[in-house]
Structure 1
Amino acid sequence: MKILHRIVVVLAFSLSAATVFAQGLEEKVHEYTLKNGMKLLMVPRHTSPTVAAWIRFKVGSVDERSDERGLAHLLEHMLFKGTTTLGTTNYKEEKPLLDQIEATAQKLMAENLKQDKADPKEVARLTKELDRLEKAAEKYVVKEEFADLYAKNGGSGYNAFTSKDGTTYIINLPANKMELWASIESDRMQNAVLREFYTEMKVVKEERRRSYDAEPEGKLWETFLADAFNAHPNGQPTIGWMSDIDNLTRTKAERFLHKYYAPNNAIMAIVGDIDPQKTIALVEKYFGKIPPGQPVPPVAVEEPVQQGEKRTEVVGDAEPELMIGYHKPTLPAPDDYVFDVIDMLLTNGRTSRLYKTLVQEKKLATSVSSFSAPGSRYPNLFIINATPRAPHTVAEVESAVYQELERLKTEPMTERELQQILNHLEFEESRQMASNGGLARNLTEYEAVAGTWRYLIEHRQKVAKITAADVMRVAKQYFTRENRNVGFITKKEAAAAPVSASAH
């Protein structure tokens, strides 16, 4: 009990530092909501004449229906293709060709879906016709016009990314080019044209082959998640399975786009050399009249409680790899904050428990990490990932991990461990504030996932209230065999040798 008491004292002492940080951010963030539902978050920063502008759509792969898997990721690609005025030399002449391409592609898809009964001659004819139409449409395409416009005006870091939880478009640019940004992005939000759709599908399929089908590490990751989630779409790959991609159409993509990629599902963060009132006026001018789309409905399905350990093996030409995952709640559930502490206790830095045991002392692994995945809007997994050090095996590393997890259940964290965690959080908070882009990312991320950017303020304060008893309780509750998912890579030549499961 003495240890627990001393930890509480340290936590209370450290809370004041977190409060100082929280008050600073609270005063800096300006919020504004447009009538169409778009949320605008602004942080003036006059250290340099630049701005980071992030637009986060609260729609990701977890929101796809079964016949839409892969759409959010494909749309990320497609929204770089332009609008009715950008990316084309003559949209009026281009559009009839795009419509012919879509009609032909749908006929080809319908014929291919007949599988063994498909007419090979019809498939060949439609394939040839689709190729002809796509080549004819190419003459109207102005490639990378968005990127070129930004680059010519001093923009950098123009990019996008898709996750389970959302899709984000980012750019850094000179502060005096904000009106250009508003013009481009409002045009994209209203008038996106999904040109070169079936050409880009081939690019995505190649990405899938390269990153997943041909890579044992990628294959392990997506198979591990698919095995862990029987019902919830968290288990489906963001890029989609190959047959999912094969059956996407521009019509489906446009329907998904027009429903969800709209102001009411968008969060905008602008951080840098700005005047908030002038920024509000600019955003109202360009985005204020865009009609809202449909709110993204919550995923209704709930993952059934797992009733026994699941083991996933991938045999491939790669070094052994180990993943161990446990189902857990997501933010802002109180236990999620405890998992943040456990994460840092186990793998944050060279003094963390798993790093010291597996990498330094026993030399069983070359690396070890932990994290929560695959998304944050719905209950997820706490995952431990380790790479065995030859000649040690996956089974040896797995057993050592379980020994450390058992320690969590019985040995309270020490004052020193707790103080290291709080110090790390303080460092991370400072790092998040260091760059315009880093702060913009966190503002949009937590506004979308936690429902408020103030999660950034509340997080450290809530972590500071966690006790050693909380850590032991959570470890006992979640780190059980029946709640466990184990994934590993077996090198091809070693596949014949069985991997023994731990009895823990």
Structure 2
Amino acid sequence: MNYSILDSWKSKTNKSQFRYSQLFHKFPFSPVLHRLLITALAVMIFCLGVTPQAAIALEPTQSLIQPYLDQVVKQLTEFRLDNGLKFIVLERHQVPVVSFLTYADVGGIDESDGKTGVAHFLEHLAFKGTKRIGTIDYKAEKPLLESLEQLDTQIRTAKSQGKNDDLAKLETEFKSLESQALKLVKQNEIGQIVEQAGGVGLNANTSTEATRYFYSFPANKLELWMSLESERFLDPVFREFYKEKDVILEERRMRVENSPVGLMVEKFIDTAFKVHPYRRPVIGYDEDIRNLSPKDVKQFFDSYYVPNNLVIAIVGDVKPNEVKKLAQVYFGRYPAKLKAQAKITPEPKQTEPREFTLKLPTQPWYFQGYHRPGITHPDNAVYDIIGSLLSDGRTSRLYKSLVEKQSLALAAHGVSGFPGDKYPNLILFYALTSPGHTVDDLAIALGKEIEKLKTEPVSTTELQRVKTQARAGLLRSLDSNMGMAQQLLEYEVKTGSWRNLFKQLENIAAVTPADIQRVAQVTFTRENCTVGKLLSKEG
């Protein structure tokens, strides 16, 4: 077998443009109760053919979960190539569609000081192509890209030394070369190939802990995906680097500098965390983004995009034996290499309350968060239940109290597992004040609701309602192949096995009112609390 299928497909495609959106998650993925139950039960439904009417009646206990887990085991195949790259394949033959997700176990927390934003930058550049894809003539393009990088270094030096005459000349030369290089680019050729083959959902996202690349194809395009995906991570070319830097800087301006809530979130995590890299924004700091070079991105890629740091999920109408055969041909080309080990400094225990205030032209917001353990902690399910009880939907305690009864807030939300959940993180609550009320009003009301969890056992009825709501949510948002691929990989990478998705479901079913009260008493203390107040500033 050879690798000519991609060349064959490229010759058949036309020049139509395909627009894909780069998805940046300021609020990364978290295995909160609602998503967990939906996804796990969706696996049961899609794999077993259980009707939605039957699914809503299912009580997630050990006796009921085990048969479904056993069935998933039968339909799921795992294998690892000699170079260390792992595949998880889940067969679903109901429709001739396959979803693919490449999960790189690297995100914002793996970046070095002064190089923040490089993981997200790399995600953008991963769509720019290879030596064969995305270029009219790579032999002509390569020296231009090398010259641009050299000129960029010279421009930085001229700026630092105040050599304005040299700077103007260098910048003129840079713009000329960049224009020449751009003429050799085939814009969005990866997207064109995917679109012309019937693919949908080409996208990616970067979080604190992971970078995910995903799209879906008709079942008969399995080998095309193998060829395309393996090549873009085997032989990438980070073209249009400086153009993309401007895009990312504008993205930061829109999402952070020009967004009061964006500034608030960035300040909050910087206050809540003192040493752990969770404190840094995934998109990076403005100065760091400006100073990133192609060399920085390449070094990051070489360090973390290695076979034993990648896991791929393939869910849909596929045959595992065929997947394994093609994976060995295409992804077996990757040379084995150990990933770099990022130095993650543990966050010390918070011993005193922290508080800050921002004044910006916005309606006032109130943020309040508490440190909690990571996803592998025995009480992880209890924290998810607490987050759901307080802030999951219109029947949650915060919404009913702060929004409906007291009219103190226009909105009240929360998230358990912020800004990531692989390491000890935060359970966070935030609310938007109603006209005529203050953030201090919200602080008092929120404090009362939290105190109730510490002093009053949650009723069995309320606890059951939370679980029932999650199961009912399944009827409205049955996850796709891609949703299942997402959660299988989240648990595979973060906990060591995708089977822990089902174990977590069991743990949720086992949570008692006493567990909630015990964890609330330990967590919701004054010394463990971080508060952020976003106040209105005229003009």
- Same-fold call, TM > 0.5? yes
Q: For residue 85 of structure 1, report the CA deviation from its aligned partner.
A: 0.3
**Residue aligning to 1:252:** 296
Using a 3 Å threshold, how does the CA distance of structure 1 residues 250 and 471 change in structure 2: closer, same or farther? Answer: same
- Matched residues in 2 for 1:252 and 1:445: separation? 27
**Residue aligning to 1:440:** 485
> In 2, are the aligned partners of 1:25 and 1:457 still within 8 Å (CA)?
no
2:186 is matched with which residue: 142, 147, 153?
A: 142
Using a 3 Å threshold, how does the CA distance of structure 1 residues 458 and 358 change in structure 2: closer, same or farther? Answer: same
- For 2:394, give the aligned amino acid: R
- Matched residues in 2 for 1:118 and 1:378: separation? 44
Residue 267 of structure 2 corresponds to residue 220 of structure 1: no
- Matched residues in 2 for 1:138 and 1:154: separation? 28
Of the structure 1 ranges 128-137 and 270-279, higher mean CA displacement relative to structure 2 is found in: 128-137
- Matched residues in 2 for 1:313 and 1:451: separation? 40
- Matched residues in 2 for 1:432 and 1:326: separation? 30
C-alpha distance after superposition, 1:400-432 (max 9, x if no partner): 111111101011111112212332444567778
Residue 452 of structure 2 corresponds to residue 407 of structure 1: yes
**Residue aligning to 2:370:** 326
Using a 3 Å threshold, how does the CA distance of structure 1 residues 55 and 427 change in structure 2: closer, same or farther? Answer: farther
Secondary structure class of the residue paired with 1:264: helix
Q: For residue 389 of structure 1, report the CA deviation from its aligned partner.
A: 1.7
Residue 74 of structure 2 corresponds to residue 27 of structure 1: yes
**Residue aligning to 2:53:** none
- For 1:484, give the aligned amino acid: C
CA RMSD of the aligned region, Å?
1.9
C-alpha distance after superposition, 1:308-342 (max 9, x if no partner): 22223222222111211111111110122210110
Secondary structure class of the residue paired with 1:493: coil
- For 1:395, give the aligned amino acid: D
Using a 3 Å threshold, how does the CA distance of structure 1 residues 138 and 335 change in structure 2: closer, same or farther? Answer: same
Q: For residue 466 of structure 1, report the CA deviation from its aligned partner.
A: 2.2
> In 2, are the aligned partners of 1:58 and 1:296 still within 8 Å (CA)?
no
**Residue aligning to 1:61:** 108
Residue 129 of structure 2 corresponds to residue 85 of structure 1: no
- Matched residues in 1 for 2:497 and 2:473: separation? 19
**Residue aligning to 2:207:** 163
Residue 383 of structure 2 corresponds to residue 336 of structure 1: no
- Matched residues in 2 for 1:427 and 1:266: separation? 34
- For 1:74, give the aligned amino acid: F
Q: For residue 277 of structure 1, report the CA deviation from its aligned partner.
A: 0.9
Of the structure 1 ranges 59-68 and 23-32, higher mean CA displacement relative to structure 2 is found in: 23-32
C-alpha distance after superposition, 1:227-283 (max 9, x if no partner): 111111100011111000011000111111122112211111111111111111111
**Residue aligning to 1:99:** 146
C-alpha distance after superposition, 1:24-81 (max 9, x if no partner): 4333321111111111111111111111111010010100011321100000110111
Q: For residue 141 of structure 1, report the CA deviation from its aligned partner.
A: 0.5
- Matched residues in 1 for 2:130 and 2:107: separation? 22
- For 1:236, give the aligned amino acid: R
Secondary structure class of the residue paired with 1:401: helix
**Residue aligning to 2:33:** none
- Matched residues in 2 for 1:396 and 1:102: separation? 54
Q: Output aligned runs, 1:1-400, within 5 Å.
A: 14-112=61-159, 114=160, 117-371=161-415, 372-400=417-445
- Matched residues in 2 for 1:144 and 1:71: separation? 21
> In 2, are the aligned partners of 1:156 and 1:171 still within 8 Å (CA)?
yes
Secondary structure class of the residue paired with 2:292: coil
C-alpha distance after superposition, 1:192-239 (max 9, x if no partner): 000111111111111111110011011111111111111111000111
Using a 3 Å threshold, how does the CA distance of structure 1 residues 278 and 379 change in structure 2: closer, same or farther? Answer: same
Residue 494 of structure 2 corresponds to residue 449 of structure 1: yes
> In 2, are the aligned partners of 1:309 and 1:481 still within 8 Å (CA)?
yes
- Matched residues in 2 for 1:373 and 1:487: separation? 15
> In 1, are the aligned partners of 2:305 and 2:339 still within 8 Å (CA)?
no
> In 2, are the aligned partners of 1:63 and 1:296 still within 8 Å (CA)?
no
Q: For residue 387 of structure 1, report the CA deviation from its aligned partner.
A: 1.3
> In 2, are the aligned partners of 1:433 and 1:439 still within 8 Å (CA)?
no
Secondary structure class of the residue paired with 1:369: strand
- For 2:293, give the aligned amino acid: T
Q: For residue 22 of structure 1, report the CA deviation from its aligned partner.
A: 3.2
Q: For residue 15 of structure 1, report the CA deviation from its aligned partner.
A: 4.2
**Residue aligning to 2:508:** 463
> In 2, are the aligned partners of 1:164 and 1:238 still within 8 Å (CA)?
yes
Unaligned stretches of 5+ residues in structure 2: 1-57
- Matched residues in 2 for 1:418 and 1:92: separation? 64
- Matched residues in 2 for 1:417 and 1:144: separation? 51
> In 2, are the aligned partners of 1:14 and 1:422 still within 8 Å (CA)?
no
C-alpha distance after superposition, 1:78-125 (max 9, x if no partner): 01110010000111111111110111111222333x3xx522223222
Of the structure 1 ranges 84-93 and 385-394, higher mean CA displacement relative to structure 2 is found in: 385-394
Q: For residue 464 of structure 1, report the CA deviation from its aligned partner.
A: 2.0
Using a 3 Å threshold, how does the CA distance of structure 1 residues 12 and 254 change in structure 2: closer, same or farther? Answer: closer
- Matched residues in 2 for 1:450 and 1:20: separation? 22
C-alpha distance after superposition, 1:162-214 (max 9, x if no partner): 00011011011101011111111111111000011111111111111111001
Secondary structure class of the residue paired with 1:208: helix
Of the structure 1 ranges 218-227 and 295-304, higher mean CA displacement relative to structure 2 is found in: 295-304
> In 2, are the aligned partners of 1:358 and 1:365 still within 8 Å (CA)?
yes
C-alpha distance after superposition, 1:335-394 (max 9, x if no partner): 222101101111223332212111221121122111121112211111012112212211
- Matched residues in 2 for 1:370 and 1:35: separation? 43
- Matched residues in 2 for 1:236 and 1:50: separation? 38
> In 1, are the aligned partners of 2:158 and 2:164 still within 8 Å (CA)?
no
- Matched residues in 1 for 2:165 and 2:261: separation? 39
Unaligned stretches of 5+ residues in structure 1: 1-10, 495-504
Secondary structure class of the residue paired with 2:78: strand
**Residue aligning to 1:474:** 519
Q: Output aligned runs, 1:415-430, within 5 Å.
A: 415-427=460-472
- For 2:528, give the aligned amino acid: N
Using a 3 Å threshold, how does the CA distance of structure 1 residues 155 and 460 change in structure 2: closer, same or farther? Answer: same
> In 2, are the aligned partners of 1:229 and 1:235 still within 8 Å (CA)?
yes
Of the structure 1 ranges 431-440 and 134-143, higher mean CA displacement relative to structure 2 is found in: 431-440
> In 2, are the aligned partners of 1:102 and 1:250 still within 8 Å (CA)?
yes
> In 1, are the aligned partners of 2:131 and 2:237 still within 8 Å (CA)?
yes
> In 1, are the aligned partners of 2:110 and 2:344 still within 8 Å (CA)?
no
Of the structure 1 ranges 370-379 and 144-153, higher mean CA displacement relative to structure 2 is found in: 370-379
Normalised to the residue count of structure 2, the TM-score between the two structures is 0.86
Using the aligned pairs only, state the percent identity.
38
**Residue aligning to 1:6:** none
> In 2, are the aligned partners of 1:432 and 1:438 still within 8 Å (CA)?
no
